[in-house]
C-alpha cells in the first residue's frame, strides 16, 4: 500500500472547499439576500471552514512521524532475516561499538565460509580472542532517538588476518564506505515510499573514518512495504560485504 500523496490531498481539499463555497453563494442567489438567509449562509460557511480545518489536522496527524508501526513490522522481518543468516550473523544483540548500544555482530572474513559449512551458528563464536576478532559490529537499529539504521563496516569483514590489506583497489574503510553509500542510494532511494514526495531522499552519513554508515529513515513513510524494503537493503549490504571480502 502506497503512502498518501500530499499534493493530491491539497488539490482535493482546495476543490471541495471551492465547491462548498460556491454552493453557499448559489443558495443565497436562489433564496434571496435577506438577513436570515445571510446568517444561515454564514453558519454554513463556518461549518465548512471547521470541517476543512478538522480534515487538515487529521491528515497532518496521519503524516506525523511515528515509527511504532514501522518498527514492529521491521523487527518481525528482521527476526526472520537474522534466523536465515544465523551462520553468518550473531542472532544475539550485544552491547558494542563506540556508541555503547546494542548491536548485531557479523563473523569476520576468516569465518565467512561458515555460511556454507554451517559448523556452528555465529552466536557460538567468541567475539574476540586475544588480538584476533571473530566477529565485528554489523547492525544497530535506533528508531526512537536517532531514526536511523546504523551499519558497522569493520576491517575484519574484509581481511583474513591482523595487519592484512583491504581488497583492491581500496586503501581505507572510508573508500569502501563511500562506495557502499553510492550503491545503496542507487539501488534503494527510489524503492521507499516517502512522507512527502517532494522531499524524497535516503541521507547516509559516514562516521568514524568509514566504520559507520548512518542511514536516515526520517523521510520514509510508516508502512509495512517500507519495513520490507529496509530488510532487502540489509540483505544487499550483506551481499556487498561478502562480494568485496
Residue 204, Cβ density class (10 Å: 0-12 exposed, 13-18 middle, ≥19 buried): buried
Q: Which residues contact 102 (CB under 8 A, 6 or more apart)?
A: 93, 94, 95, 96, 140
For residues 89 and 103, the model is more confident at 89
What pTM did the predictor assign?
0.71
pLDDT one-digit tens code per residue, 183-208: 999 999 999 989 887 888 899 999 99
pLDDT one-digit tens code per residue, 93-121: 887 556 677 889 999 999 999 989 999 99
Amino acid at each position: 500500500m502506497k503512502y498518501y500523496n500530499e499534493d493530491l490531498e491539497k488539490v482535493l481539499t482546495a476543490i471541495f472547499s471551492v465547491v462548498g463555497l460556491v454552493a453557499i453563494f448559489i443558495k443565497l442567489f436562489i433564496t434571496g439576500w435577506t438577513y436570515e438567509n445571510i446568517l444561515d449562509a454564514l453558519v454554513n460557511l463556518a461549518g465548512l471552514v471547521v470541517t476543512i480545518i478538522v480534515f487538515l489536522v487529521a491528515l497532518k496527524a496521519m503524516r506525523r512521524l511515528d515509527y511504532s508501526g514501522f518498527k514492529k513490522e521491521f523487527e518481525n522481518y528482521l527476526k526472520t532475516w537474522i534466523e536465515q543468516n544465523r551462520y553468518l550473523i550473531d542472532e544475539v544483540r550485544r552491547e558494542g561499538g563506540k556508541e555503547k548500544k546494542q548491536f548485531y555482530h557479523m563473523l569476520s572474513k576468516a569465518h565467512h565460509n561458515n555460511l556454507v559449512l554451517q559448523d556452528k551458528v555465529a552466536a557460538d563464536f567468541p567475539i574476540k580472542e586475544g588480538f584476533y576478532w571473530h566477529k565485528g559490529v554489523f547492525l544497530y537499529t535506533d528508531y526512537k532517538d536517532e531514526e536511523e539504521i546504523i551499519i558497522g563496516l569493520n576491517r575484519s569483514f574484509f581481511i583474513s588476518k591482523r595487519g592484512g590489506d583491504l581488497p583492491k583497489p581500496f586503501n581505507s574503510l572510508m573508500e569502501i564506505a563511500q562506495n557502499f553509500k553510492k550503491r545503496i542510494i542507487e539501488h534503494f532511494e527510489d524503492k521507499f515510499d516517502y512522507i512527502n514526495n517532494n522531499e524524497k531522499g535516503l541521507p547516509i552519513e559516514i562516521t568514524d573514518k568509514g566504520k559507520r554508515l548512518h542511514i536516515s529513515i526520517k523521510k520514509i513513510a510508516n508502512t509495512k512495504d517500507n519495513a520490507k524494503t529496509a530488510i532487502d537493503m540489509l540483505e544487499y549490504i550483506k551481499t556487498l560485504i561478502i562480494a568485496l571480502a
